[in-house]
Chains A and B, each alone.
Chain A
């Protein structure tokens, strides 16, 4: 409890607050408020000078409580509390009254806004008056990091964390790490061979003594809290011992089952037992139990018969691996929007209308066509080609409202690759506008447009018709205002990117949010781009939103740095502003346990609810739900709220 020596500081925030609130009047009014011994206003309380004013006043006036009326506490409460703590005031005796977001920015009448600012500031004084000294709770933590997703982003994050001396568990749901980047032909704008720059990273991750690689695995359960997460990982059986497999391919030769090959985007077939791709890591064949005729009971068994090294074991069982980790990085990447949603383009129906990722495989030297571009339908060469931008992107009415960011540049690259091998070929690109926002991308794309005789047509494609031996693309050139109708051999749809399958369920598993488009949601779009609202869980790469390889890699490193911030702490501290239970009033009815979103309160055998203070975020849901008033949040007690309400609503004396 304050002994009535409270200081009040009103921030102008430049003109942000001052324009709509007479801060001087707020200060003068508060000077006469009971318990307030000092009040002043200043341009920027968050500046060093502003903070010094707080420190000086605490010392000079022996303040035992401070109110700063400024922006939202989520911005600067920590700043001000740190300043107050430096001169010996308990940090939990400082409260922020939000007179910017809740007052100056939302009002248009200065008189009314000033009155409201006075009332909100008075309410904060009432709260401080009854605030207790609190001590942060110290928490030990695990020093491992979980990285989910073995694409380039996850690999980057895992290697960064491991290189800093912390153990990493890298979980990938597919049988090999590498992600979509492993499928690409060359990368823009340098035209590096994608695999050539990726595979050294894959090898580094797999060989790193601090990285435990779990492929063909998925996280099935997460419990705990920042610094102390317990994760359960389910590793599917591959039925092949990677240490024994010598990649001889005999098993695949005898396998009677053929299914569509994921790595080639369905343009080729693979066997039920297969090598995901040549440079796969782990370097081993995998038996796809869904495609296999059956290992339990054994229906075929031919692959095991021909395996000279005895690598195949039909008795392999799923493994559940439990790990304790201090931080989690989610880099689960993207998929392409399903082209069959684009019925007017014959997406998913016309074999010669392919996705951009299929085209990458078609022109890849080790792809299904060995780099010799041919029509999937009849195998004839491709001499005329059309690329369609924004296939599913920037179409809020019917498809995805956002820009997928990478398509403009990769389409230019793909047109270039086509022209390089088909110098007499005709390439047309339908675009809305060209967005090549990365370093060197604009020069790259403009160079191709200018020098490669690629026809760029500004306009959307209305319809594509399959005429058997060719496709007819109907569109409009919005620059000339003319209808366009061209015959081509192949159409490439620059498909919208979407969060990878299962992202939403995964977000639930990790107790984080997704945005309106299903991408993982960051804690702040500008200042906390790789953090989530769940402390200790970070996001990176395409899972967070469309981005190119350098941005994904940079985010991977950023997430690693945020994870290391936790792992490198000697111990973590937790806010003491948590729920407490009055045992005299608690009947153990258990309503609070249902209300708590953090699993932080349990009814013990004694019949009394007990709070796990480290799990508790102080949200107060249990306090609101408690029918007997037995639960209160420290420094957010009912008596404080009653006094605050009276200060807000009460008549002026």
Chain B
């Protein structure tokens, strides 16, 4: 049997996804035995032109990690899409925009001002540096997940994808046993389904952050007031964070039938908070609890801001259009 032709690519990413591939330990040797890696900028020396040289759909599958932040990210996504039969959104950034999707809360100008200072210092797409023309990929107005620029066949969620899921994916790939396109390599149900902590469904009377108290390792973190995103997060990782006594932060994205992870969690939380008071006191009491949440978007949309209903900031704070 011919060896599979595979690629691994990173766009706007931290590099953690590339490392996560090695978490499968010796299984990586099976991958090497069963597949030729034609593209992997992190580990091999393939050039853009090598990729351009392949015929359309020549590669069997490409794992694409990172979000689309620059023109180069976008162009490479489109080029890879043309050269591969199957494209995988690998990791939270490719899947939902990831943590860096929170940059969509700022405009491009604000980001540049913060990073480079005055406008004259901002990098130009085309410039002359020491007699050479320098071409930098343009920084797009906002960040998007991979699926916003090209069709995606599979999703391997997570920040980074957990070893168990990556391993299952490689096994299926090498066995020629991949599911129908559209599949997400994770559970259909939420994280609570895999979490073994004891739930009492008590009212949440206060909100705690992890540095403020030490959670009881047996009891549901939400019941204790820690904002665990488990209810609104797809399972499949085996609830690794709650098992390590840390609340889930939601990296696997929304469960199968939910379109917006943050609003799902907000709806859930709104149903859980309460002081026991009724009437007007009830509203006041519940508002007081919800006001204890610092950084609402960073909490409920930590990985999915770029794929949320609001998507990004459209206007300057003072009403001036961007």
Residues of A that sit less than 8 Å from B by CB? 582, 584-595, 607, 621, 624-630
Contacts and interface: CB of A to CB of B under 8 A. Distances in A.
A587 B268 contact: no
A587 B271 contact: no
Given A628-B190, A628-B232, 19 more contacts: A582-B257, A587-B192, A589-B192, A589-B193, A589-B230, A590-B199, A591-B201, A591-B231, A594-B271, A621-B271, A624-B267, A627-B190, A627-B231, A627-B265, A628-B258, A628-B264, A629-B256, A629-B258, A629-B264
B199 A589 contact: yes
Interface of B: 188-193, 199, 201, 203, 230-232, 235, 255-258, 264-265, 267-268, 270-272
A625 B193 contact: no
A593 B201 CA distance: 8
14 contacts: A584-B189, A586-B189, A587-B190, A594-B201, A594-B272, A621-B271, A624-B267, A627-B268, A628-B189, A628-B190, A628-B231, A628-B256, A628-B264, A629-B255
B271 A625 contact: yes
- What DSSP secondary structure best describes chain A's contact surface? loop
B9 to A, nearest CB: 32
Contacts of A607: 193
A113 to B, nearest CB: 29
Of listed A586, A594, A621, A628, residue having the most chain B CB within 10 A = A628
A138 to B, nearest CB: 31
Of listed B230, B265, B268, residue having the most chain A CB within 10 A = B268
Nearest to A596: B271
A279 B310 CA distance: 73
Contacts of A628: 189-190, 231-232, 255-258, 264
A592 B272 CA distance: 9
Contact of B267 (A585, A587, A588, A627): A627
A411 B93 CA distance: 80
B232 A587 contact: no
A-B interface, 5 closest residue pairs, ranked by CB to CB distance from nearest: A587-B193, A625-B271, A629-B257, A627-B231, A589-B192
A340 B141 CA distance: 70
A155 to B, nearest CB: 32
A585 B189 contact: yes
Given A591-B231, A594-B201, A585 B271 contact: no
Contacts of B189: 584-587, 628
Contacts of A582: 257
Nearest to B204: A594
B34 to A, nearest CB: 33
A627 B232 contact: yes
B223 to A, nearest CB: 10
Given A594-B272, A627-B265, A629-B264, A588 B255 contact: no
Nearest to B194: A587
Contacts of B265: 627
Contacts of B270: 625
Contacts of B267: 624-625, 627
A503 to B, nearest CB: 15
Contacts of A624: 267, 271
Contacts of A587: 189-193, 235
Nearest to B187: A587
Nearest to A625: B271
A586 B188 CA distance: 9
Nearest to A626: B268
A627 B255 contact: yes
Contact of B268 (A584, A585, A625): A625
A619 to B, nearest CB: 12
Nearest to A632: B257
Contacts of A626: 268
Contact of B257 (A590, A594, A630): A630
Of listed A584, A607, A627, A629, residue having the most chain B CB within 10 A = A627
